[in-house]
Amino acid sequence: MAAQTKSGAGKANDNRKAVHDLVYQELRQSIMVGTFTPGEKVSLRSVAQQMGTSLTPVRGAVNRLIAEGAFEVLPNRWVMIPPMTEKKFDEIIYWRTQLEMEATRRACSNVTRRLVARVESINRKLHEVVRQGRDRKDLLNENYKFHFAIYRHSKSTILLPMIESLWLQCGPFTYYSLSSPGRLWDGGHHEEIIAALKAGDGERAAKAVRGDITSTAEFLKSSGQYTRPRLRRVVG
């Protein structure tokens, strides 16, 4: 009987850990695709309600994300995205470019028909969002899927966490790129990346990734919005 009780407790702990990890991963990805923007105060209770879970796993996830620099704590115990400086932005873009180009080169060495079909499908969805005039926030989500489908194919357990860390810090600021001219989201760089993947040309693919990253960065710098926290809404 005691053994059964201990076994039951172990399963309960495993279930709790799975819930905590799931909430953390979902919240982490939401930050990377611009769901939360600079200056937006976030209520943990509201996030828990939106995710259909209790406050405990959300609090644990947020504490992990604070440690990673994705959130900062406000005096009232709410959290928000930390502000950005020009120096920090430039450094993030520099390292994003270096790491994502290398991940793309490695993905080209491991390219499969399945990967090509996957990124082609994602890019078609991105074009549909633009063509149908849907909520342009969907672009950020499809863009995330496109890039990380490739980076995961690098088969590197070192590169991927570093890239994710940089996206955590700059992802919210890409929200401002949605106000850019249409050509920034015309899929041109993605088409070039796909063509290079098909050809197995790592350098060509890496160059296209660099162009994709820097074109967005240049728009954000020219607009100046990335350094100005702006309250979009209060989640509370």
Q: Higher model confidence: residue 234 or residue 171? A: 171
pLDDT at 102 over 70: yes
- 136-188 pLDDT, tens digit per residue, is 678 889 999 999 999 999 999 999 999 999 999 998 888 888 777 666 677 78
Structure token pair of residue 121: 């499908």
Q: Determine the average pLDDT of the residues in 27-33.
A: 92
Q: Are 149 and 118 in contact (CB under 8 A)?
A: yes
- CA nearest 213: which of 173, 179, 154, 159? 173
- CA nearest 110: which of 159, 151, 141? 151
pLDDT at 227 over 80: no
For the chain, give the percent of residues with pLDDT over 70: 86
Alpha helices in the chain (DSSP H): 2-32, 44-51, 55-67, 86-109, 113-132, 137-152, 159-170, 188-199, 202-223
Q: What is the pTM of this model?
A: 0.85
Q: Are 44 and 55 in contact (CB under 8 A)?
A: yes
Rounded to whole angstroms, the Cα distance separating 179 from 63 reads: 31
pLDDT at 235 over 60: no
Cβ atoms < 10 Å from Cβ of 195: 14
Helix, strand or coil for residue 163? Answer: helix
Rounded to whole angstroms, the Cα distance separating 31 from 234 reads: 15
